[in-house]
Structure 1
């Protein structure tokens, strides 16, 4: 099964790329959050992705957001793709509110060393591994380069948020945990611990990020816990952490996973989704990047393809706008950039990277006259069609400078089209999508019919 490890498009402005999630601007008040199949552990992203992991994380979080909306407002709007959600833009509060119901993980390791407080919360003596606390405890941490435990008093003193907001976050987290625990227990699952994140939208406190997913929570099967509490196996990505700890060498964890561990991790994620929601994940067996493109296009966030017009000077903008207007008639996205091959050529690699990494069909129009190094530089380094369409002030300018666009270096297959409308049509046709080819077939047929009609009219006039 293919994996979705990244997604790039010149049509979407990327706002943030984290260990697992990437976010893009949708509009002024919304963003798209994509959960990739990347997996992280011990503050490091592994080189080996896990199939369907991102779709499980996103779809499961969306399911929980809907189930808990009545008790806590959240930023979720709708699912765009199994791995993508449209959410409202929020001002995040840089804290993770962790709720723990059992003594396990890092808390147990510290407890063994004699510590009896977790983030300022006291825990009793005499507890064993994986034992339940008398009641769930809240242990917040900061969201920094390296997260650190922090007490309620320190949160206020250090200015992370106000006391009033923290107390509200504290109370909501316990309520969410109580509801989640009850719902999961009905499905034979114990919610061991989890983390919640909050933000502000128009001054209202809302739940953001994710909720009760395998990446943010620990889960145990109740039957297994009842049989042997101290050795119960987790259903979340602790399976991967255990593998890494078992194969640690010289203080370093492995950065890749073997095929059997990847397959088992993917199976566990999918099984957990089905256990929690009661239904299988709707996950089409197709290339995930292709699926994402299709769904983003259906929802109106992406056009079918994109033409990037790269100009050598701001004075070329009117020339480029003529082509952009023509291209948009085909319902194709247009992005314009100003980069001089001679004066700020260091910017060219940025364009190269954007285009090489993108997933949708893309073509380039290079707008540069006189010494046209721009079209050559783009064509020599990009695996997409590049069309030179230089601007000319008059016929003399054309005669003197056309050759700089026609004479490209070897192994530089840039095309040159003089007329802006023809260049625009050529760039669109180079995208080579079925719908665009059909559009041009209809356009050609229309021209043929017009010519046939003109001939028929002339013949009638001549026979009179």
Structure 2
């Protein structure tokens, strides 16, 4: 199986913000979203990764961004790599617009427990699991670690959105859902439910962000299964169901997924992609990390090399600054960490996708300590700064040539 992408760390881009699936790197006017192969259920990350998941999600979002751009503009700028999107920075509206057409998932569980008004929507008696709802509804949630149900009235009363902005989001979400339904219906799929996220761009205009109509943000049924009353999910819902069936309880460790289940989830994602787009999915032979790094270098997003200068106390800061300036002049990204005052764990640098070298400024005991922590080459700063920089660049060159 092709190597999967659990997470990324590219030091020259700074520390990423890690969502459930995406690693987010901040630029001045843009964000870089890297879709990993992580999978979460009920807002908890599973230990397992799913082959090609990040690439499949990105490809499907691109398909749907193109299909819906006449309804609403989206945040996409460019795609430098199959797992990566460069997008516009915007003011994120902290609401997930969950659009539902069928009585499934958490909606059914609440309804079966006796609730008839959910997220401000009143539902009639007599509905059964998997039933078509009387109309398409929106059950919004507040974005948080564990998304919380809310309602149009609550959001407006609390000042989260104005009534005018809500109405625009509601209308847009319903139009997007209708576009999704009409697109997948002739291809033998039913869009059961989905979620949309929106933001405001620098002009204050509403734009679509995150992802759209992917197996992570949506539930699908195959029409033939639904007509046979076999409501099977070929996507993330399969993982949710497995976890439920194997004793998941809130706050307790998630059960592990056996390889057979991991493979079924991958096949489900792939099948949904091929059915929606009409294109055959092609697996890759090269490690995803290598391909990702090369594409970011080819697109001049990164240099693909990095130096970390580490000193024990502020006493060594002046020396570190001089070395840093020389490295910068040589076109080599670098940072300085003073371990006495830093809250950044050095072990995170062992996860760097790009080759890096560490320069340690301190006594022998300190230098050995740093060398024991880091897996990358650690060089003790020479008495001469020029010699230190030359040795560092030489070591970087050796790493890059491997």
| Contact 2:313/2:338 (<8 A) preserved | yes
Aligned pairs (5 A) from 1:25-424: 25=26, 27-202=27-202, 203-228=204-229, 231-248=230-247, 254-281=254-281, 283-312=283-312, 319-320=319-320, 322-324=322-324, 326-328=326-328, 331-339=331-339, 344=340, 347=342, 350=344, 352-368=346-362, 371=363, 373-389=365-381, 417-424=382-389
| Contact 1:327/1:334 (<8 A) preserved | yes
Q: Distance in 2 between matches of 1:75 and 1:262?
A: 31
Report how far residue 311 of structure 1 moved: 3.9
| Contact 1:32/1:86 (<8 A) preserved | yes
Are residues 249 and 317 of structure 1, via their aligned partners in 2, closer, same or farther at CA, if it must alter by over 3 Å?
A: closer
Report how far residue 170 of structure 1 moved: 0.4
Instruction: Indicate the larger mover: 140-149 or 89-98.
Output: 140-149
What whole-Å deviation, never above 9, does each CA across 1:348-380 have from its counterpart, x for those lacking one?
Answer: x73522322212111112234xx5654333123
Q: Distance in 2 between matches of 1:36 and 1:249?
A: 24
What is the root-mean-square deviation of aligned Cα atoms in Å?
2.4
| Contact 1:47/1:255 (<8 A) preserved | no
Q: Distance in 1 between matches of 2:94 and 2:219?
A: 22
| Contact 2:43/2:145 (<8 A) preserved | no
Are residues 154 and 217 of structure 1, via their aligned partners in 2, closer, same or farther at CA, if it must alter by over 3 Å?
A: same
1:5 counterpart residue number: 6
Q: Distance in 2 between matches of 1:89 and 1:263?
A: 35
Report how far residue 315 of structure 1 moved: 6.5
Report how far residue 17 of structure 1 moved: 1.3
| Contact 2:37/2:52 (<8 A) preserved | yes
| Contact 2:347/2:373 (<8 A) preserved | no
Q: Distance in 1 between matches of 2:242 and 2:106?
A: 17
| Contact 2:323/2:385 (<8 A) preserved | yes
Q: Distance in 1 between matches of 2:374 and 2:103?
A: 55
| Contact 1:34/1:85 (<8 A) preserved | yes
| Contact 2:246/2:255 (<8 A) preserved | no
What whole-Å deviation, never above 9, does each CA across 1:254-309 have from its counterpart, x for those lacking one?
Answer: 43100100111111111211211222345532222222222222222221211122
Partner secondary structure for residue 64 of structure 2: helix
TM-score (norm 2): 0.91
Q: Distance in 1 between matches of 2:317 and 2:254?
A: 51
1:431 counterpart residue number: 396
Partner secondary structure for residue 12 of structure 2: coil
TM-score (norm 1): 0.79
Partner secondary structure for residue 145 of structure 2: coil
| Contact 1:20/1:36 (<8 A) preserved | yes
Report how far residue 225 of structure 1 moved: 1.4
| Contact 1:237/1:265 (<8 A) preserved | yes
Partner secondary structure for residue 48 of structure 1: strand
Are residues 433 and 167 of structure 1, via their aligned partners in 2, closer, same or farther at CA, if it must alter by over 3 Å?
A: farther
1:414 counterpart residue number: none
Report how far residue 317 of structure 1 moved: 5.4
| Contact 2:24/2:31 (<8 A) preserved | yes
Question: Gaps (5+ residues) in structure 1?
Answer: 390-416, 438-464
Report how far residue 175 of structure 1 moved: 0.5
What whole-Å deviation, never above 9, does each CA across 1:165-210 have from its counterpart, x for those lacking one?
Answer: 1111000000000111111112111111101111111211111111
Report how far residue 110 of structure 1 moved: 2.7
2:19 counterpart residue number: 18
Partner secondary structure for residue 47 of structure 1: strand
Q: Distance in 2 between matches of 1:385 and 1:293?
A: 20
Report how far residue 116 of structure 1 moved: 2.7
Are residues 112 and 320 of structure 1, via their aligned partners in 2, closer, same or farther at CA, if it must alter by over 3 Å?
A: closer
What whole-Å deviation, never above 9, does each CA across 1:407-428 have from its counterpart, x for those lacking one?
Answer: xxxxxxxxxx333223212112
Are residues 153 and 420 of structure 1, via their aligned partners in 2, closer, same or farther at CA, if it must alter by over 3 Å?
A: same
Are residues 382 and 151 of structure 1, via their aligned partners in 2, closer, same or farther at CA, if it must alter by over 3 Å?
A: closer
Question: Gaps (5+ residues) in structure 2?
Answer: none
Report how far residue 326 of structure 1 moved: 4.6
Are residues 249 and 5 of structure 1, via their aligned partners in 2, closer, same or farther at CA, if it must alter by over 3 Å?
A: closer
Give the structure, 1 or 2, with the largest relative contact order (CA under 8 Å, sep 6 or more): 2
Report how far residue 91 of structure 1 moved: 1.2
Report how far residue 42 of structure 1 moved: 2.2
